[in-house]
Chain A
Amino acid sequence: MHELGIAASILDSVQAETDRRPGSHISKVGVRIGELAGVDSDALQFGFECLVKDTSFEPLELDIEAVPRMQRCPCGNEFRMTDYDPRCPACGEFMTQCVSGDQLEITYMEVEE
């Protein structure tokens, strides 16, 4: 779906970083994707490889870190949400709040000088 556009946005950032460091080559870019981000990792990896192939970006690896969804309970407990169960494992409260899991971020790049 929109993973190709997201792959292109990642490459824009790689290009910007390369422009800032003349003579260097970026060989790896790390991204963090939350399970609520609505991005399929396999489709992103596939789209990324298609865009990189036969360009000056090669060799360039995409490292995807999957981030789970975290909920916070009014009791203070933070827990990983599994099987769509928002109930707090500590106190059973249902009205817990999502505090993490929609990340779609670039975290690092590896540069060959």
Chain B
Amino acid sequence: MSRIEIEKKVLNENQVLAEHLRERFRAHAVCCINLISAPGSGKTLLLERTLERLAPGTRVAVLTGDLQTENDANRLARFGFPVKQIITGGTCHLDAKMIGKHLEGWDLDELDLLIVENVGNLVCPSSYDLGEDCKIVLLSTTEGEDKPLKYPSIFAKSALMLLTKIDLLPYVPFNAELARENARRVNPQIEIIDVSSTTGEGLERWMKWLRTEQSNKAGARLQAEA
């Protein structure tokens, strides 16, 4: 019997594809964000509010993942931007291969921003790199404020937490400060923005964050070229 040392990632195949995607996004100066939350936290409504607020001429595309149905793609397509539904057929997360496959037919030179709406799930999507620039996690006020502690992996890997449905705060027993504190305990660097897709509160701050993220990406590319 002999022992051979191996140091490689278990999801090596996904990682290789994700790095390939990241390189493509970099080469075409596309900023890619990956939206992750539990089902029902408001990812799709936030996306609708985001798309309607984007400046005319913004070159954005959306990939939206679900186990079944084209419902989300239909909701999002009415804003006139390219949208594709990824139906996973039961798989609880998106992986880099699905992203690559659904990018076919789109010219990345025609895009500045790619928004990926992951399958509603706080666990599995955190293990799969999609080549994105950052992960963004949504937590809604109708969930528990201890979710960052129960599902630390995704909160630890996200650059931003959007606290959604804050218009409901007067009606639900949700301690927003405790939720923010829990998120920061898991990830001291995480940024937090409170939003309501219903009243519009906080959406300007979110749009500004998105613009900054995009210009950071464009700036990094110019620097690399210089």
Min Cβ gap B97→A in Å is 12
- Tell whether, in the assembled complex, residue A109 and residue B6 are in contact, meaning their CB atoms are under 8 Å apart: yes
- Tell whether, in the assembled complex, residue B153 and residue A36 are in contact, meaning their CB atoms are under 8 Å apart: yes
Docked CA distance A12–B149 (Å):
33
How big is the B interface, by class?
35 or more
- Tell whether, in the assembled complex, residue B7 and residue A86 are in contact, meaning their CB atoms are under 8 Å apart: no
B186 within 8 A of A: yes
Q: What is the interface of chain A mostly: helix, strand, loop, or mixed?
A: mixed
* Residues in chain B near residue A10, CB distance under 8 A: 10
Min Cβ gap A33→B in Å is 8
A39 within 8 A of B: yes
- Tell whether, in the assembled complex, residue A84 and residue B185 are in contact, meaning their CB atoms are under 8 Å apart: yes
**Smallest CB-CB separation from A24: which chain B residue?**
B2
B152 within 8 A of A: yes
- Tell whether, in the assembled complex, residue A104 and residue B153 are in contact, meaning their CB atoms are under 8 Å apart: no
* Residues in chain A near residue B1, CB distance under 8 A: 27, 110-113
Docked CA distance A13–B124 (Å):
21
* Residues in chain A near residue B224, CB distance under 8 A: none
Our pick among A2, A12, A95, A110 for the contact of B123 (Cβ within 8 Å) is A2
* Residues in chain A near residue B10, CB distance under 8 A: 6, 9-10, 13, 31, 104-106
